[in-house]
Amino acid sequence: MINLSINGEAKQFSTPLSVTNLIEILGYTGKRIALERNGEIVPRSTYATVQLADGDKLEVVVAVGGG
């Protein structure tokens, strides 16, 4: 079981996840997002290779267009 804090909300997952997997589960695929893991920005180019660990604290920000 992996316990993550996502935008301050505790979530549990039964299998190991990459950042890409998490984005798919959360429904952010195709959206412009920024993701911070334990206080560090995760570069988009590493989403598929970065494995999330039990206890990680994530902040996900969705870019909103407008004017």
Q: Give the 3-state secondary structure of residue 21.
A: helix
Lowest average pLDDT, out of 6-15, 29-38, 58-67, goes to 58-67
Q: What is the pLDDT of residues 51-62, one digit of tens each?
A: 999 999 999 999
Confirm if 4 and 52 have CB atoms less than 8 A apart.
yes
| Residue ranges covered by each domain of the chain | 2-62
Q: What is the pLDDT of residues 31-51, one digit of tens each?
A: 999 999 999 999 999 999 999
Overall pTM surpassing 0.75 (yes/no): yes
Q: What mean pLDDT is reported for the chain?
A: 95
DSSP annotation of 45 reads G
Right CATH number for 2-62 from 2.60.120.10, 3.10.20.30, 3.40.50.1820, 3.40.50.300? 3.10.20.30
